[in-house]
Structure 1
Amino acid sequence: MVVLLKLPPFVRQTLLRLVLAGLLFWSSIAAMLPTLPLYIAEKGGTPHQVGFVMGAFAVGLICSRSWLGPLADRQGRKITLLIGLAVAAIAPLFYIVSHNLPLLVAVRLLHGVSIAGFTTGYMALVTDIAPPAHRGEIIGYTSLVHPIGVALGPSLGSWLQMNYSHSWVFIVASSLAALGFMAAAGVRVVNIPQDSGVSRPEKTLFWRLLLSERLRIPSLVMLSVGLTFGTIATFIPLFIAAERLDISAGLFYSVAAIASFIGRVATGSASDRWGRGIFISASLACYVVSMVLLAQAQTPLEILWAAILEGLAGGVLIPMVAALMADRSTIDERGRVLSLSLGGFDLGMALAGPLLGGLIDPLGYRLIFRMAALFSLLGLTCFLTASSKSLPDSLRFALGMGRDRYAL
């Protein structure tokens, strides 16, 4: 925390406003995590259709990243941040009047723009501000808004749904995002000197960046994790209801978020000393074990252990990949690089629901969690063997025994 106190006062104020906006944004998004799958089921959706509707959210994410990333580089980070918050404030109100599956799909597509805009603007602003020597530490601290918001949101959403109605969940989610918009509107743009001798944003095509060696493997890793997380976000409430386990989905998400908080606090500054690789590898291993536990869980305690490991995994992985991408990018392409790497996660979430939802009836929920474990295992294998310029370099980097050879 000492490094935050050393920043100029106006930079600290900017970070404070960003953190407040982030807390409100993620609380808004997370309030619907345990309730929306049940709401879709109430509207007549089968498990496959629930997966399809939930997956539409990530489709909106993917499609919007292709223009929000370049927009952040051309017009500034703040505009994309405000777009994300504005959509997060508007979209929940449309769920109230969406009474059939096609309308719900359309709203989910729109809602997906919110995370694309917010995460691109937020992470780019933070990495612009953070001194390179303390980048992992500052990203770790500022990314705590996600686990805190995701800890508060599901419990709030479940309480509103049980004591009032789904409509109140959507109204409160909209209000939280609107408050976040007001907080972010006061963010002062921090002018960071541009790197010299590098091409301007418009000279490098957005999707061409994805083919670069420095970006390809992290994006594949995020794809594998997106498939895993999409499985959790879509099917945990339905799995708990189907198995009649004496635990709420909201508690699962809240426990995972608390574990995520602990993971981010513990690893942010450590990654500046030991490198990002060892923490990315450890988080992927935690994802594998968590999904195996879910696949065989018979009691609420086993569900909670899976939630703890999943929370630790996600809490470490997302900020570590963001820091890795900041290490590997110049400032005038950072918006696009962050947008593309996070886009792998979006694609995984988009595919998980439709891909696995159709397998539930013949195979059951437990098998799809085993498949989610396999997705994470494939991501870990890719990272261990291809995260650097050669197999030996990759193993050294992924195990914390060598530097990142793609870092600029």
Structure 2
Amino acid sequence: MNPYNTLRSLAPDQRHSLLILFVTGLLYWIGMTILLPTLPLYVEHLGGSKQQIGLVMGSFAIGLIFSRTWLGEMADHRGRKIIVIIGTVVAAIAPFGYILSNSILPLIAVRAFNGISVAAFTTGYNALVTDLAPAKQRGEIIGYMNLVAPLGMAIGPALGGILLGRVGYVWLFVLTAIAGFLTFILAIQVQENPNIVLSSGQPKDQNSPSRSFWQLLSSRSLLVPSLIFLLMGMMFGVLVTFLPLFKREMAGLFYSVAAIASFSARFFVGQASDRYGRGLFITLSLISYTLSMILLCVGDSSQLFVVAAILEGSGGGILIPMLLALISDRSLSSQRGRVFAVSVSGFDVGIAISGPLLGFLNWEYRPMFALAASFAALALLLFMSQSSKNLTHSLRFALGQEPDRYAVEEHS
């Protein structure tokens, strides 16, 4: 089934909300990723050292970590839409903080505040998409709807480099704020699935037990995906913090090529995972990530750099929607906001740890990417050995030889 036929098979209100969400997400990620290659240069422009650049970029995760859990709770009890709106409002405000900041400490505070935007938007967006998607098409629709991130990343970093050269930092931040305001206008038009959240604000599955943060995290079915998110966050923290400094003239190219590869992977993998399971595709994505970081560590040619970008984009294009689909399969709709918040918070912690830590260690760039490769390899080993009830089941699930034994019955 192609995307057009998939959309046509949905109810009109579902289709309308998903289309608005898609446009909202695309514009949101364009605005966010404009800053990927430009913000480290802005910190350096203000006189920041390598360590300070790591602190500023890593502080983004502070806002993510301290806001994602309560935002997840709010998503389950107040609805997903309000969380998306919070994310867009912060995205519209935060860029003005960068304009007003002329030293490192204020930049750290603004960057942490900016992190709340991503925590809110991704939690609300992914929960909304999952609520609106029929269970039998969940992987496919999550895959299509998560195309917004690679598409935004294909446009945003390249656009950021062009704007920086033509209008400078101030107007770059102003245009980013305008993008955030436009996403707010779009987000308020989205309609939630009334079968998930009632008008009283209480989850429909009132008879299902409510689990705390630590109860969710201690569940093996969610702990392993959370640890994989953690390791991938540590890898991504290295990439987003130090790649623009390691390959100044080629960072925009890397992000654009990676985004195209991510788009291509997500376009095909979602539907296939509904048929063949999530495990095989998660394994392939972690292999791609590992090889990408190895190439960044040892490669010298522009050709290998492009290959590394393709592998990194393919890995992200497969891993993120597959992990989201996996934790959706393993959770009840009434707890999905909290489940997403708990699991994806591992990614936030990873970003918070890796950038500042490696900045303080002051390593050369190639050893940093060697360490990033080890994070991806460890995630692969963890998934292949611990993703199911025992080693044998884990290995079979990771190779696509058996279904997910932690999946729960979902009430559509």
TM range, normalised to the smaller chain? Answer: over 0.9
Cα deviation, 1:266-313, whole Å, max 9, x if unaligned, reads 201000011001111111111100000001121222211111110000
TM-score, reference length from structure 2: 0.95
Cα deviation for residue 217 of structure 1 reads 0.3
CA distance in 2, matches of 1:168, 1:228: 31
CA distance in 2, matches of 1:238, 1:347: 22
Quote the RMSD (CA, aligned, Å).
1.0
* Aligned equivalent of 2:386: 386
**Which residue of 315, 339, 343 maps to 1:341?**
343
* Aligned equivalent of 1:397: 397
* Aligned equivalent of 1:236: 243
Cα deviation for residue 56 of structure 1 reads 0.3
* Aligned equivalent of 1:316: 318
CA distance in 2, matches of 1:36, 1:404: 41
Cα deviation for residue 369 of structure 1 reads 0.1
CA distance in 2, matches of 1:178, 1:248: 30
* Aligned equivalent of 1:91: 94
* Aligned equivalent of 2:299: 297
**Amino acid in structure 1 at the alignment position of 2:267:** V
Matched, 1:183 2:193: no
**Which residue of 249, 252, 275 maps to 1:250?**
252
Moved over 4 A (4+): none
**Amino acid in structure 2 at the alignment position of 1:66:** T
CA distance in 2, matches of 1:208, 1:102: 36
CA distance in 2, matches of 1:297, 1:86: 41
**Amino acid in structure 2 at the alignment position of 1:330:** L
**Which residue of 137, 141, 146 maps to 1:138?**
141
Matched, 1:65 2:68: yes
* Aligned equivalent of 1:367: 367
Cα deviation for residue 70 of structure 1 reads 0.3
**Amino acid in structure 1 at the alignment position of 2:103:** N
Aligned partners of 1:89 and 1:175 also within 8 Å = yes
After superposition, residues 125-204 of structure 1 pair within 5 angstroms as 125-192=128-195, 194-195=204-205, 197-199=207-209, 203-204=210-211
Cα deviation for residue 43 of structure 1 reads 1.1
* Aligned equivalent of 2:406: 406
Question: What secondary structure, in the 3-state scheme, does the structure 2 residue paired with 1:110 have?
Answer: helix
Question: What secondary structure, in the 3-state scheme, does the structure 2 residue paired with 1:165 have?
Answer: helix
CA distance in 2, matches of 1:48, 1:278: 38
Cα deviation for residue 176 of structure 1 reads 0.8
Aligned partners of 1:359 and 1:368 also within 8 Å = no
CA distance in 2, matches of 1:130, 1:284: 26
CA distance in 2, matches of 1:297, 1:204: 47
CA distance in 1, matches of 2:406, 2:128: 22
* Aligned equivalent of 1:244: none
Question: What secondary structure, in the 3-state scheme, does the structure 2 residue paired with 1:45 have?
Answer: coil
Q: State the number of aligned residues.
A: 398
**Amino acid in structure 1 at the alignment position of 2:116:** V
Cα deviation for residue 60 of structure 1 reads 0.8
CA distance in 1, matches of 2:299, 2:48: 26
CA distance in 2, matches of 1:114, 1:276: 28
After superposition, residues 40-119 of structure 1 pair within 5 angstroms as 40-119=43-122
Moved more, 83-92 or 160-169: 160-169
Cα deviation, 1:293-335, whole Å, max 9, x if unaligned, reads 0011212222111111100001111100110011000011000
Instruction: Structure 2: state its 5+ residue gaps.
Output: 197-203
User: Structure 1 residues 196, 101: CA separation in 2 closer, same or farther (over 3 Å shift)?
Assistant: closer
CA distance in 1, matches of 2:206, 2:71: 24
Question: What secondary structure, in the 3-state scheme, does the structure 2 residue paired with 1:248 have?
Answer: helix
Cα deviation, 1:178-199, whole Å, max 9, x if unaligned, reads 1011001111122125347412
* Aligned equivalent of 2:289: 287
Cα deviation, 1:366-402, whole Å, max 9, x if unaligned, reads 0000000001111111100000011100001111001
Among the aligned pairs, what percent are the same residue?
51
CA distance in 2, matches of 1:156, 1:171: 14
